Homo-oligomer: A and B are copies of this chain.
C-alpha cells in the first residue's frame, strides 16, 4: 500500500480574526502527509526546501511515518513562503505575500525506491511539476488523486488539462469547478469535468461539506458544524490526506469505499481548522479520530423506511 505525495513543504504566516502567527510550518505535502499518516504508512514525500527549514519539523513528519529523503534540500536557498489574512467569514482570504524561493525552478525527482507507488497524491503545484512526477512512475498507480486551484486555471490551463486527463480523482472547490467547466450548476459542472478524464470528482465546499461525483452517482458529506473555525489553512490538504490515506489503507477504490474516504478526509479537515497550522494534526489518537467520525455519522444519519422503494 505504497503512498507517494508530491507538494509543497513550506512556511506560512497566518492572520485570522483569532490571532496571528509568525512563520510556522505549512505546505500541501506537510498537511497531506500528517493527515494520511493516521491511515497508511509510510508516506513517501517528494518536495523541495531551503536550508532554512528546521530539522525538527522534518523529524515530526518522520515520526508520523513519512519518508523525507525525497525532499530536496537546496543549500543557501530559502523555502517557499506564503502569508495570508482571513476575513471574518473565514471563507475568504487575502494573500499578503508569496515568495516562491526554491519552488521557482523545482524539478521533482522521484527516488527509485518510491517509483512502484500504488497511490499517488499530487498536491497543489504547477501542473508541469505534477506532470513531471507522473512521468517518472513507470507503472500506472492504482489511483492518482490531483489537487489544484484556480491560479493554474488562470495561468496554465492547457498543462492543467493534460494532468487532469491522467488522473482518477480531481479535488477542487465549488468556484473552481464552475470556472473549469463554465457551468454554474455543480451537477452540470461535474458532468463536464468528468469528460476531461477523471473517473471521480470531489467538489470541496468548505463549511458546506463536499460532493463526490462519478458518472452515475453523487455522494454528499457535510462539514461538521464547529463552534470555532480557528484557522482554515491546510483544511483542503488535510481532507486530501485523509481521503487518500484511507483508500491506500483499504486498497479499495470502489465508489462505496470512496464515500468512507470522504468522511475520513472530512474528519481530518475538521481537526485541522481547530488550531493554527498543523498543530492539531500532530499526535492525534485513534480514539479522537473514531469519536470525530462518529460525530459525522450522528450528524447525517436518519431512518426512513419507504414502503415501495
Q: Which residues of chain A have a CB within 8 Å of any CB of chain B? A: 88-89, 184-188, 205, 208-209, 211, 217-222, 225-229, 256, 259-260, 262-263, 287, 290-291, 293-294, 297-300, 302-304, 306-309
Contacts and interface: CB of A to CB of B under 8 A. Distances in A.
Contacts of A293: 304, 306, 309
Contact of A263 (B291, B297, B304): B304
Chain B CB count within 10 A is highest, among A205, A294, A302, A303, for A302
A227 B300 contact: no
Given A208-B205, A227-B185, A304 B297 contact: yes
A226 B303 CA distance: 23
A222 B220 contact: yes
29 contacts: A185-B226, A185-B227, A185-B228, A187-B225, A187-B226, A205-B208, A208-B209, A209-B222, A211-B225, A217-B298, A219-B299, A219-B302, A220-B299, A221-B302, A256-B302, A259-B302, A260-B302, A260-B303, A263-B304, A290-B306, A290-B307, A290-B309, A291-B309, A293-B304, A293-B306, A293-B309, A294-B306, A297-B304, A300-B300
A180 to B, nearest CB: 17
A291 B211 CA distance: 20
Nearest to A227: B187
A225 B309 contact: no
Nearest to A297: B304
A225 B220 contact: yes
Contacts of A184: 88-89
Given A263-B302, A294-B309, 13 more contacts: A88-B184, A185-B229, A186-B225, A187-B226, A211-B225, A218-B225, A218-B299, A219-B300, A221-B302, A256-B302, A290-B308, A294-B306, A297-B304
